[in-house]
């Protein structure tokens, strides 16, 4: 039996810019996610994490490589198969307002999956929508509200309710808490954790916020310029992170128990443009440990131990 919900094999996405140059947004990503895992993909903006989410959800088509879902290759599926796939793989976006029509009441929005996929009667769909509100701890009165009457956190709860209404196997949260206040972020993360415990779906949590990812997920995958540079378990992250970029990210996080006088390390410089990248390590220009080989040879993502992989020439 296949234990993996999702497997990405040498997945690539190139874009051609207006100047006819090649931009490698996702540069040969290999990733396997087991059922019930909570996997975070972290990295600075422009690292390719959101493009990766769009590839997995078929919003974008890959340039090459494979996407396996529950062991089946879904890289090139037809319209009918895509509809079924979208029922099983759902996404929660950064700005919930982008998925709501301002003129559509919350209740009608929550009825849609039941009408479109399950062909329920309006009465049955309404009953399901009310259950969905209850699942995300919103009172039934919200059924008749318009999106502008809800706070950002409440809207995100409705977006989560809609995404999980048909019990997907994989939920992709693309910066789903980034636009919210810190206290509301916590509430949404805690809600996702409770829902996952009950419904056993798998979560891919895409975020630039390493602290939130560390808190919520069991595995963190670090991306830099379209490449996975390290993947490891969150509970041993502080102790075991080996890649210079992961270490820099960890040093830039301020933790509640840190001394107020401890300096916060900020990684200097910006990632280089992903257009016309050289053949070597993508982190080379910002790495304090770069050697000659780093400029010419891209390091492979190697398994160091179970659950820990790293792409760096100096890590042995
Ligand atoms: Fe730094 Fe070289 Fe490792 Fe890249 S491969 S992270 S440049 S030491």
Q: Is 26 in the pocket of ligand 1 (CB under 6 A)?
A: no
pLDDT digits (tens, 9 = 90+) for 151-202: 999 999 999 999 999 999 999 999 988 888 888 999 999 999 999 999 999 9
Q: What is the DSSP letter of 12?
A: E
pLDDT in tens, 73-93: 999 899 999 999 999 999 999
Ligand 1, atom 5, lies closest to the CA of 312
pLDDT at 270: 67
Contacts of 36 (CB under 8 A, 6+ apart): 196, 200, 201, 202
Return the best residue to mutate from 283, 296, 304 for the ligand 1 pocket (most ligand atoms within 8 A of CB): 283
**Average pLDDT rounded to a whole number, residues 116-129:** 96
Q: Which of 272, 293, 310, 313 to mutate to test the pocket of ligand 1 (most atoms within 8 A of CB)?
A: 313
pTM of the entire predicted model: 0.91
Residue given tokens 């969150």 in the structure block: 234
What pLDDT score was predicted for residue 124? 97
What confidence category does residue 100 fall into, taking pLDDT thresholds of 50, 70 and 90?
confident
Ligand 1 center–CA 75 separation, angstroms:
32
Ligand 1, residue 287: give the atom nearest the CA.
1
Is residue 244 within 6 Å of ligand 1 at its C-beta? yes
The pLDDT score that the predictor gives to residue 259 is: 62
* DSSP states along 51-87: HHHHHHTTSS--SEEEEEETTEE-TT--HHHHHHHHH
Biggest distance spanned by C-alpha atoms of the chain: 68
The pLDDT value recorded for residue 260 is 62
Q: Ligand 1 centroid vs 268 CA: distance in angstroms? A: 15
pLDDT tens for each residue of 28-65: 999 999 999 999 999 988 899 999 999 999 999 999 99
Separation of CA 50 and ligand 1 centre (Å): 24
Residues of the chain above pLDDT 90, percent: 75
Are 217 and 40 in contact, with CB atoms under 8 Å apart? yes
The overall average pLDDT reported for the chain is 91
Q: Which atom of ligand 1 is nearest to the CA of 288?
A: 1
Bridge partners of 20, per DSSP, are none
Answer yes or no: is the C-beta of 115 below 6 A from any ligand 1 atom. no
Residues forming beta bridges with residue 91, ordered by sequence position = 172
pLDDT for 18 = 85
**Quick one: pLDDT at residue 258?**
60
pLDDT at 256 > cutoff 60: no
Using CA atoms, how far apart are residues 237 and 223, in angstroms rounded to an integer?
15
Find out whether 65 and 12 touch, Cβ atoms under 8 Å: yes
Verify whether ligand 1 is closer than 6 Å to residue 290 (CB atom): yes
Taken in order 288, 291, 295, 296, the sign of the CA dihedral is: negative
The pLDDT confidence band at residue 22, using thresholds 50, 70 and 90, is confident
Position 34 scores a pLDDT of: 96
């Amino acid at each position: 039996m296949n234990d993996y919900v999702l497997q990405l094999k040498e997945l690539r996405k190139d874009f051609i810019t207006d100047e006819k140059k090649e931009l490698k947004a996702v540069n040969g990503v290999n990733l396997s996610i087991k059922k019930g895992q909570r996997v975070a993909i972290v990295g600075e903006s422009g690292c390719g994490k959101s493009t990766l989410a769009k590839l997995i959800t078929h919003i974008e088509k890959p340039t090459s490589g494979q996407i396996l879902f529950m062991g089946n290759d879904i890289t090139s599926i037809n319209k009918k198969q895509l509809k079924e796939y979208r029922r099983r793989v759902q996404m929660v976006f950064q700005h919930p307002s982008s998925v709501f029509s301002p003129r559509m009441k919350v209740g009608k929005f929550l009825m849609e999956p039941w009408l479109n996929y399950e062909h329920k009667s309006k009465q049955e769909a309404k009953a399901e929508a009310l259950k969905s509100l209850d699942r995300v701890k919103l009172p039934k009165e919200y059924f008749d509200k318009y999106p502008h009457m809800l706070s950002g956190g409440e809207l995100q709860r409705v977006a989560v309710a809609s995404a999980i209404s048909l019990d997907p196997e994989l939920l992709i949260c693309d910066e789903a808490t980034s636009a919210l206040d810190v206290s509301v972020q916590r509430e949404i993360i805690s809600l996702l954790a409770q829902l996952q415990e009950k419904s056993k779906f798998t979560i891919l949590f895409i975020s630039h916020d390493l602290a939130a990812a560390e808190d919520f997920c069991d595995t963190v995958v670090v991306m830099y310029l379209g490449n996975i540079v390290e993947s490891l378990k969150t509970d041993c992250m502080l102790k075991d992170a080996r890649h210079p970029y992961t270490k820099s990210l960890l040093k830039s996080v301020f933790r509640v128990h840190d001394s107020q006088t401890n300096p916060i390390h900020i990684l200097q410089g910006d990632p280089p443009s992903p257009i016309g990248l050289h053949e070597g390590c993508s982190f080379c220009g910002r790495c304090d440990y770069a050697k000659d080989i780093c400029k010419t040879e891209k390091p492979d993502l190697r398994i160091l131990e179970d659950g820990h992989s790293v792409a760096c020439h100096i890590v042995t």
